[in-house]
Amino acid sequence: MSIKVLKFGGSSVKNIGRIEHVADVIAGYKPDPVVVVVSAMGDTTDHLLNLARQCSTAPDQRELDLLLSTGEQVSIVLLSLILKAKGLSAKSLTGQQAGISTTDEHGSARILDIDAEQIRKELEQHDVVVVAGFQGVTESGQITTLGRGGSDTTAVALAAALGASECDIYTDVDGVFTADPNSIKEAIPLKEIGYAQCVTLARNGAQVIHPRAVELGEQYDVVVRVRNTFNPSNPGTEIKGESEVERVKQFCGVAVDANQGSILIKKLKQANNLLREVTECLNECGALVDNIKQVNSSDSAFYGSLQICFQYKDRERAESAISLLNQENPYVSICADLDLCKVTLVGSDAQGNAKASIRAIGILEESGIEVKSIRTSDLAISCLVNKVDAQIAARLIHEAFQLSADFGATKTEELSLIA
């Protein structure tokens, strides 16, 4: 019998009623041995984070990891108790007890190794082993967390370590959709999608699965399924290799990524180190630079200009960094816009994405939406637009490129989630 690896997100284990339902889903995998990874219940992680911030405006990350890791520990114990009450032999393990070794970057650790023998021994005596997601331990014994979405990564890493060919990620939707179904009602779930396309969607705003989990699936040839806890008969979306997908070149989805910014910097005279200073400044405030364009100016009053597009997580920190940069550089003029969103069309066109990008610009501009910048790659066309226009832009692109057409996708039914 092959080992089945499942993961259930926070919405799936939000309360005791939902955990009871999760236990029934797990029971459906009998007689195969099952390893289950769970997240913290509902909004527990946010609640714990808010408590820490009431104690300190800048909580120590080591202490924060120790606090946040308790959320998953509550979930694994409750699920194990319910499984036992239903007649299944179960045992709960923290990340440390499951042998998950990580780097020592608190809050964003990466998995280095998993001692799979520990879990195999437990499976010899139990039907189900329930593992806390999102966490691990360093070589020196310090508890770490993997960052938001880390439970997905835990599950796929465990599947790879245990030699499982598949990993089922259970959430509250029927799979990977062509767009956010909460914003675009025409969005439909895909039957299958390639690793690269799914990673591109995830890195550009789609939040159904963490990109690191998909990358691990590709690296270790683990087929990842995104399924609905509350509609377990639905097979969901399979994320797998392109050679298996055997799909003609096509676009598969559109994603919206908020908190995007753009800086236009005009240099009054030559400043050789300006680009380095700007990128270092943005990096220090946690912003990720996406694109840089350097232009020589035809205006004799300016030496040249830089246009930098980036993503920020904390608006106040980004504004503070830009203000400081402006004060420390009297020979530059800085104009910043932090009310932007990136709308990304994911996939490829048989005729090449260059023509498709021209089409996307035309569609948006005809509707009065200004495209601040556009970036084209083999798997994505990203348009930077004003935040107020983002959802309209996504809907227009979704419709124009016929993402709701039957390219291996199926309509989903309305579901009533368990209270």
What CATH number should be reported for the domain holding residue 336? 3.30.2130.10
pTM: 0.87
pLDDT digits (tens, 9 = 90+) for 271-292: 566 778 788 888 888 888 888 8
Q: Are residues 101 and 235 in the same domain?
A: yes
Q: Are residues 178 and 313 in the same domain?
A: no
Q: Are residues 222 and 293 in the same domain?
A: no
Q: Are residues 106 and 46 in the same domain?
A: yes
Amino acid at 259: N
> Domain with 241 in it: what CATH number?
3.40.1160.10
Q: Are residues 239 and 292 in the same domain?
A: no
| pLDDT score of 270 | 60
| pLDDT score of 416 | 45
Count of domains observed in the chain? 2
**406 is a domain residue:** no
Of the candidates 246, 266, 299, which is a domain's last residue?
246
Q: Are residues 212 and 76 in the same domain?
A: yes
Q: Are residues 239 and 357 in the same domain?
A: no
Q: Are residues 186 and 301 in the same domain?
A: no
Domain that holds residue 388: 255-400
Q: Are residues 31 and 170 in the same domain?
A: yes
**What parts of the chain have a pLDDT lower than 50?**
244-246, 408-417
| pLDDT score of 240 | 94
Q: Are residues 239 and 273 in the same domain?
A: no
| pLDDT score of 102 | 97
| pLDDT score of 199 | 95
**124 is a domain residue:** yes
Q: Are residues 311 and 225 in the same domain?
A: no
pLDDT digits (tens, 9 = 90+) for 390-409: 999 999 999 999 998 755 44
**419 is a domain residue:** no
